[in-house]
Structure 1
Amino acid sequence: MLGNSLASAVLASLILLASSQFLSSQDKFVYQEPKLTAADRAHWAFQPPKAPEIPRPRNTNWIRNPIDAFILQALEQKGLTPSESADKISLLRRVTFDLTGLIPTLEEQEKFLEDTRADAYEALVDRLLNSPHFGERWAMHWLDLVRFAESNGYELNADRPHAWRYRDYVIRSFNDDKPFDRFLTEQIAGDEMAQGKDPREVSDLWVATGMHRCGQIHVVSGNLNPQEVRQEVLTEMVYGLGSAVLGLTVNCARCHDHKFDPVSQGDYYRLEAFFTSAQLKEIDFSTKAERDEHAKKLMEVMLKIAPIKNQISAIDKAYEQKLRQERKAALEPKFREALELPADRRSEEQKQLAKNAQALTKVTWDQILGALSPEDRKKRELLRQHLSNLEAELPVPPSQATAIQNEDKGQKAYILRRGELSRKVVAVEPDYPRVLQVTQSPTNSKFSRLDLARWLTRPEHPLTSRVWVNRLWQHLFGRGLVSTPNDFGTRGSRPSHPELLDWLALQFTRGGWKSKPILRMLVLSNTYRQGSSCRPDAKGLESDPENRLLWRMNRKRLEGEAIRDSVLIANGRLNREQGGPSIKVPLEPEVYDLIFTEDEPAGLWAVTKDSRQWNRRSLYLFGKRNVRLPIFEAFDQPDRLSPCPERVRSTFAPQSLVLMNGPFLLEESTRLAEAIWTKKELSQSSAVEQLYRRAYSRKPTESEVQSALEFLGNQKALVQKRMDRAETIRTFNTEANLDKASLAAWADLCLAILNSNEFVYIP
């Protein structure tokens, strides 16, 4: 035992000595950037897209546009054939969801089914591309990429009251089909484009730079110094750009040369140097009338709030003083004496004693809460609720952009040894990653972020157009042509159809960088129109089990937000109002318990007062980083901490529990039952048919109708027995003289339908 202890001590000493020698040697460290080789540059993603010939497969009858030619050629080489086309109603449901994120309403179903024109599907696609809901759907994909949120993250996680303007900018951009090169340029360097102009005339340019403000930021920084916090901000900016635009893991080169891709630390910090002059700014573009109106309304509400806060503070202060006196009385005499002496008369020892005494007598909020009498606790809760209601009336702040802006005097960027701010190696100037440069940059150049945006959006850039069209493909087909959409590097997946990827990228840039024409071409292809049979071809499963060659369509599960929106569409309660400040809906009790203290949720989460706003589309719900509705969390909403190129689709038990027992589904299935029940002209069979059409966009089969009617009869009898025993059943909004047992049975049927795979999956 003694020998082991001695050996451990010797080993520890050697490690300490080695560490000190290592640290001292780092002071003399000289960074040597690795040279690029021909092999580095030869990687397919670092070569500009090349125009391929459109293939000529044997089965020309199946080809509707060039996309089909590329897909069919790969299938024929494997001896595979494409699947039959999806039926008309499945295609309606699929394309409506893919382009707008919503399921078709009863009226939309009828209109499409009654349209017997040869180009009915083409007309449907054009209507959906021009729908204002198109921008909402595709904005969500972009906001995932840039990890958009409306709070700072970390300890304080304070709200960002103007972040919603960036969300609305993205929605408008997609609805207008703003050219993608312009869309990127405005976000990367909108402030430089707006320089010298009236902010009210170019407000969108300032708002667009909110892309760089989407990451987390320390406000309560603890032991971090301001320079470290600033370095974190720069890291977030490069991280967002590298992931969303370049599709490369450039952040891996922050601490060392990239282990796999030809991206050096020098490349990383030269890219960071584009942002070193950019400071976080709130740009005011409000009018005087807007500011005056805000000040007036704010004063009105604050005058109501002040006396409520004073009453709460009085309760807290009385208990705090009482607890402090009790703790002070329990101190040893020397601590009390030191504490009672004036600070300028204390000796060094007494100063330390007083400091310790202050810590010992400190009273926390939890302790005050625990000491409250039942009467005072109840009084305080009522005051807090009243305060929360008043806070919900606070006016929207005058128009501002959560933006960035260059300082007159830029900061220097340095290569940092191991990414540590204290270990600066050599200063660098802004420049592009070497492996992506067609020609060497001039050594005397001083690039701006506007130069960076222009370089990224050059038609011959090897990554920008490829990365974006791959994302368009991914969101329609469930998987990108490159299945690692944020990693086009050497360890990323190779494209399943490289010539098709290049052809799409060139079509995109040559077509003015517009996304809608590419999406239109994709959804009109026979490749997209294929069925997604649950009993797929055995040969296809054997040759291509992951369906990378697309011999059938992939089924896609709705995201948590889309499930919520679809439920609201099914029962006719979706509020389709667009834009504006985000909505805070009432949170479920377990979310309050997890996130907030026992007493404080109302103050930290002021629910939007107008209950009609609670049924807005999920995109418009307030995006706080550590607050997710259970249905969103269960169905894989991103955590808003990292760029999310692709939603995970997990399968686990809590998903079933949320759908079957969650308050939202219980409430909305009841509303769905009421919406159908109140249509007195419907027979039971017709009502079942309407339920299927609302939820599944199709009519039920005869056997499904019969099963539903049997369920309703059996369930009504069970509910009636519970009512006879005076047990609680669901609460309804309809008249009291209705048959509540039948209505409760219908609500249970609706809940079962909304829990089915057919509802949460798109064919």
Structure 2
Amino acid sequence: MLPLLSDRCFACHGPDDQARKGRLDLHTREGALRGGRSREPAIVPGNPDASELLARILASDPNDVMPPPEAKLPPFTPEETDRLRRWIEQGAEFKEHWAFLPIVPPAIPALDDSTPPAVNDIDRFVRTRHHQEGLPSQPEAAPETLLRRVTLDLIGLPPTPDDIAAFLADPSPAAYEAAVDRLLASPHYGERMTQEWLDLARYADTYGYQSDVDHDLSPWRDWVLRAFNENLPWDDFITWQLAGDLLDQPSPDQILATAFNRLHRQTNEGGSIEEEFRAEYVADRVHTMGTAFLGLTLECARCHDHKYDPISQRDYYRLFAFFNSIDESGLYSHFTRATPTPVMRLWEGDTERRHRELLEARLALEDALTARRATARPRFERWLAHTRSSEPPPVPDPVAHLPFETIENHRTPDSLSTNLVRLHDNPELVPGRVGQAMKFSGDNSAVLPRAGRFGRTDPFTFSLWLQPADTAPRAVVFHASRSWTDSGSRGYELVLEHGHPFFGLIHFWPGNAAAVRTRDPLPPGVWSHLTVTYDGSGRAAGIRIYRDGLPLPLDIVRDHLAKDIQHRAEWGDSDVGGVPLTLAGRFRDNGFKDGLIDEFRVFNAELTPVEVALHAGLPHPLPSLPETAWLAHFLARHDDASLALRARWHEVLVAENNLVTPVREIMVMQDLPEPRPTFVLQRGAYDSPGDAVQPGTPDRLMPMDPGLPRNRLGLARWITDPAHPLTARVAVNRIWKHHFGQGLVGTTWDFGAQGELPSHPELLDWLAHRFVSSGWDRKALHRLIVTSATYRQASSAPPNLLARDPENRLLARGPRHRLDAEQIRDGALAASGLLVPTLGGPAVKPYQPPGVWEDAGTGKSYTQDKGDKLYRRSLYTFWRRTAPPPSMLTFDATSREVCTSKRDATTTPLQSLVLLNDTQFVEAARVLAERLLTDHPHDPAARAQDAFLRLVGRAPDDLETDLLALLYTEQRAHFRAHPDDAEAFVAIGERPRDPSLPAPELAATTVLTSAVMNHDEFVMKR
């Protein structure tokens, strides 16, 4: 009864108490017996006539009938009403939903002598059901049909003529199992399994949304391929993808696997709110985990309690909390090609070893510099005694100085060069700390065209007098970057946050940056002399901020700057010439409103604490400075041994920076040191936080072991617990669908109350239990299924059986369904001999019609690849989310914008047009025709036989042979009469034609092979 009540009643009277009408709860027995606002019990067990529920269903008054007309739900049919009445008469027992009950392996049925024999235990369950239904099983499919079926299922390619000949030559019972074992051992097995996983993982080669910028995630896809080929146990496959980074001493592959969680769409569109989209990304991870591993529609509980399943909104955000604590941005960079953090470096060759050696050399030099502080002390003390009684040490000269004394033609001079500072939107001169100062409105700025071009390893210093007008939440003082402190903020910046100076060095915010913030704010309306120094180390500890010559206490905001802060051509960045140093304003940011800046200086060196104090005007001999400040100055300016060590240290920094510059990166998972707080978001809105929640799982499904960590690894352990009621059922159901075209549960994405009931519940639970007991062995499960007599049945059946079970839910015949888009294209390439079998690597761009990308409105243009890249498997075809490969879309491929568990299977005229006219298929038909003409130069009948064998896996019957002969004769006559048409036709595609073959004969044979490609059996699995 649960699916019926769920479908007709739960939207208004189900688990969602906020949407519940009339206070009537029908998803629990207690609620149904209690009744609603009327206080009349909805159900009286044993007495349907006294049950208000049945009375309202049978009511004729539209004001009383349930479901009401405005619900737009179908009324109860007489059969459903009768079923409901019988259920109430029998006591109205409420049972837990079948999918949430523990998996208890059923007894394997015994078959009597009247039932066809079983090959394995799958058949015992299926044939017992046949016996109950009075259905006959079908005989085994023809050998060539069976071989084609299992070959397509296990490697996604058609069998070769040699495969077929060898199989037909061995009539022994072991031949089929040997073929299965060969296919499971094939490296192409991994390609076939990966293809389906990409839909669930929402894998694409672009970010999606409006800009839909390219990004290469193929290393993750190649890991999936290896995992399937190596038969990684399914529980490990789940664990590595959800939480491989949290395993003890994780391997590179285990970390790489977590890119699964980052494959969602991302945006960089102007005007987007970073936190809004970050929340979308976390939600997508929850939804994908729910669909891919649990078969649940968790997204239905994002804004309110789930209307049909026992998942509350609070449960949803407890799951949300598991994925909410990585150092990520809601936007990717609009101005650079930086990989959104967290990332994993993809080392090649000996680069990782060389990098490790450089880090070891750096640490050794830093130890040597520390040791030198002690050994240099005698010299330092003599030097200090002399220095304090003599002239103050000199301060290095700046390379730029903006005194802000004059404005002419929207320019103000740099006193140290001929550079002119551009003034935008008319900042004004006002009385300043020294002469005049520049006052900014918050919308204007000053731009230095050449100074301040610093990188990650460049030491530098900035100094200025400034007077903030207030303690605004945010005010930009100066920067060399393109945009707000977000993913677009490559460079460096000084920003006041509620008056607190914040200085950051950024490759990609937030996860690839070094940044500090002062603990104390600057007083508004008061002049402060601010100095920022940086030592080139790439560490937050290398940044210091001084006020009026003295260091300020700092808090570290970020401390992971792993790549350069400059824009680089090799990364594909814009602004490769450099982003200019700019004062007081920035694109998409809050300027220095009503703030004053004076005496702005830039130094190409890190000033010592002594030099900073002197530069700020503190009197010599600087009694307020501690001795450690003088020691730092001595070591940096006067100690030859320290200077030599520091020079070598800087060389190592530069070498390390140059080494990592070309190293590719991929998005992965890495939790923050402290978990980010998670709240129930009211109505799912990012800016409406409600109650705080801790990571956790829905208790109604299966309580989480209290000994598990409350992080993603604990979540993965909960999902892969052998006692979990969903994980194994969902996995085996999806594998069953892979082979039969539909699962034992038809709704592979929804095992909840709105999903379909299993057609063979005992078989499903037996398979699930066996799957777990086998060590989550996918290959063993595939083998079990494809060697069963159930799978090996002929897919044809008598009309009466087809009429009784049109969808083959009872499995009284073999599987029959159309191939996936990728298999159709790959089949044409394989049959023609064009297929390049190389495994893995970056995406390729084969043929597609002109204008598809251009018309998508993303500003991208398609550049077709050349050579072997045109003939790689479809698994490797470049997938743009806003414009997926059009020929594959025609055959129902998905955009992969979200996790997708089921593809449609349509039949349209456009599909035939693709097979007849798409360059990929025409070229494949022509290359196959060349082979046929070469192998059978004087035998058209043999050519037809060979074409059929290669494309549909069998020989043509007499009628098909006669039709192909007629087609060839007609087309040869046409092309002989129109030789220019023949030449144009056989010139389609990049692969050069064989000039030794006459064009009319080649063109006619190409039409013949193209016709066979349009045969129903080419695109169908039978």
* Aligned position for 1:110: 165
SS in 1 for 2:986: coil
Please give the residue correspondences for 1:337-356 in structure 2 after superposition, counting only pairs within 5 Å: 343-344=426-427
Contact 1:40 1:262 in 2 (8 A): no
Q: Determine if the alignment matches structure 1 residue 153 to structure 2 residue 208.
A: yes
* Aligned position for 2:98: 44
Moved more, 178-187 or 697-706: 697-706
1:553 to 802, 806, 814: 814
How far does residue 653 in structure 1 lie from its aligned partner after superposition?
A: 2.2
Q: What is the distance in 1 between the residues matched to 2:228 and 2:982?
A: 55
1:595 to 856, 870, 874: 856
Contact 2:294 2:730 in 1 (8 A): yes
Contact 2:345 2:665 in 1 (8 A): yes
What is the root-mean-square deviation in Å for CA atoms of aligned residues?
A: 3.1
Q: What is the distance in 1 between the residues matched to 2:994 and 2:1003?
A: 14
Deviations 1:268-300 (A, max 9, x none): 000111112123411114158448999xxxxxx
Letter of the 2:227 counterpart? S
Gaps of 5+ in 2: 1-17, 19-24, 31-92, 328-340, 356-422, 430-440, 445-571, 573-659
Relative to structure 1, is the Cα distance of residues 446 and 761 closer, same or farther in structure 2, using a 3 angstrom cutoff? closer
Contact 1:719 1:729 in 2 (8 A): no
Q: Determine if the alignment matches structure 1 residue 656 to structure 2 residue 912.
A: yes
Contact 1:557 1:760 in 2 (8 A): yes
1:88 to 143, 156, 164: 143
Contact 2:845 2:870 in 1 (8 A): yes
Please give the residue correspondences for 1:519-530 in structure 2 after superposition, counting only pairs within 5 Å: 519-530=782-793
Letter of the 2:1012 counterpart? I
SS in 2 for 1:645: coil
Q: Determine if the alignment matches structure 1 residue 565 to structure 2 residue 565.
A: no
Relative to structure 1, is the Cα distance of residues 574 and 729 closer, same or farther in structure 2, using a 3 angstrom cutoff? closer
Deviations 1:675-707 (A, max 9, x none): 211225662222221111111111122333232
1:434 to 685, 699, 717: 699
Letter of the 1:141 counterpart? E
1:204 to 245, 249, 253: 253
Q: What is the distance in 2 between the residues matched to 1:550 and 1:109?
A: 26
Q: Determine if the alignment matches structure 1 residue 249 to structure 2 residue 290.
A: no
Letter of the 1:282 counterpart? V
Q: Higher RCO, 1 or 2 (CA under 8 Å, sep at least 6)? A: 1
SS in 2 for 1:426: strand
Please give the residue correspondences for 1:277-676 in structure 2 after superposition, counting only pairs within 5 Å: 277-279=325-327, 280-286=341-347, 289-290=350-351, 343-344=426-427, 398-438=663-703, 447-533=710-796, 536-595=797-856, 601=860, 604-608=861-865, 611-676=867-932
How far does residue 423 in structure 1 lie from its aligned partner after superposition?
A: 1.6
Relative to structure 1, is the Cα distance of residues 77 and 546 closer, same or farther in structure 2, using a 3 angstrom cutoff? same
Q: Determine if the alignment matches structure 1 residue 213 to structure 2 residue 234.
A: no
Please give the residue correspondences for 1:19-58 in structure 2 after superposition, counting only pairs within 5 Å: 42-58=96-112
Letter of the 2:147 counterpart? L
How far does residue 118 in structure 1 lie from its aligned partner after superposition?
A: 2.5
Letter of the 2:427 counterpart? D
Relative to structure 1, is the Cα distance of residues 619 and 190 closer, same or farther in structure 2, using a 3 angstrom cutoff? same
SS in 1 for 2:935: coil
How far does residue 613 in structure 1 lie from its aligned partner after superposition?
A: 2.1
Q: What is the distance in 2 between the residues matched to 1:264 and 1:725?
A: 66
Deviations 1:459-479 (A, max 9, x none): 110000000000010110111
How far does residue 46 in structure 1 lie from its aligned partner after superposition?
A: 0.5
Letter of the 2:177 counterpart? E
SS in 2 for 1:759: helix
Letter of the 2:695 counterpart? P
How far does residue 540 in structure 1 lie from its aligned partner after superposition?
A: 2.0
Q: What is the distance in 2 between the residues matched to 1:519 and 1:587?
A: 34
How far does residue 446 in structure 1 lie from its aligned partner after superposition?
A: 5.8
Task: Give the TM-score taking structure 2 as reference length.
Answer: 0.58
Moved more, 654-663 or 510-519: 654-663
Q: Determine if the alignment matches structure 1 residue 742 to structure 2 residue 1006.
A: no
Q: What is the distance in 2 between the residues matched to 1:274 and 1:735?
A: 60
Q: What is the distance in 2 between the residues matched to 1:670 and 1:405?
A: 51
Q: What is the distance in 2 between the residues matched to 1:716 and 1:422?
A: 70
Relative to structure 1, is the Cα distance of residues 138 and 445 closer, same or farther in structure 2, using a 3 angstrom cutoff? closer
Task: Give the TM-score taking structure 1 as reference length.
Answer: 0.78
Letter of the 1:469 counterpart? V
* Aligned position for 1:193: 247
Q: What is the distance in 2 between the residues matched to 1:98 and 1:344?
A: 70
Letter of the 1:464 counterpart? T
Q: What is the distance in 2 between the residues matched to 1:738 and 1:539?
A: 51
Relative to structure 1, is the Cα distance of residues 45 and 726 closer, same or farther in structure 2, using a 3 angstrom cutoff? closer
* Aligned position for 2:198: 143
SS in 2 for 1:149: coil
Q: What is the distance in 2 between the residues matched to 1:740 and 1:645?
A: 46
SS in 1 for 2:829: helix
* Aligned position for 1:225: 273
Q: What is the distance in 1 between the residues matched to 2:130 and 2:690?
A: 53
SS in 2 for 1:263: coil
* Aligned position for 1:691: 947
Q: What is the distance in 2 between the residues matched to 1:596 and 1:663?
A: 24
Relative to structure 1, is the Cα distance of residues 540 and 721 closer, same or farther in structure 2, using a 3 angstrom cutoff? same
Identity %: 39
Letter of the 1:104 counterpart? P
Greater share of residues in helix: 1
Relative to structure 1, is the Cα distance of residues 96 and 736 closer, same or farther in structure 2, using a 3 angstrom cutoff? closer
Greater share of residues in strand: 2
Contact 2:745 2:756 in 1 (8 A): yes
Q: What is the distance in 1 between the residues matched to 2:721 and 2:787?
A: 28
Contact 1:626 1:639 in 2 (8 A): yes
Q: What is the distance in 2 between the residues matched to 1:292 and 1:541?
A: 64
Relative to structure 1, is the Cα distance of residues 590 and 278 closer, same or farther in structure 2, using a 3 angstrom cutoff? same
* Aligned position for 2:544: none
Q: What is the distance in 1 between the residues matched to 2:354 and 2:880?
A: 28
Q: What is the distance in 2 between the residues matched to 1:293 and 1:658?
A: 51
Q: Which has the larger radius of gyration?
A: 2
Relative to structure 1, is the Cα distance of residues 411 and 632 closer, same or farther in structure 2, using a 3 angstrom cutoff? same
Q: Determine if the alignment matches structure 1 residue 234 to structure 2 residue 282.
A: yes
Gaps of 5+ in 1: 1-25, 27-32, 295-339, 355-386, 388-394
2:228 to 170, 174, 180: 174
Q: What is the distance in 1 between the residues matched to 2:835 and 2:855?
A: 28
Moved more, 570-579 or 640-649: 640-649
Contact 2:733 2:743 in 1 (8 A): yes
Moved more, 706-715 or 640-649: 706-715
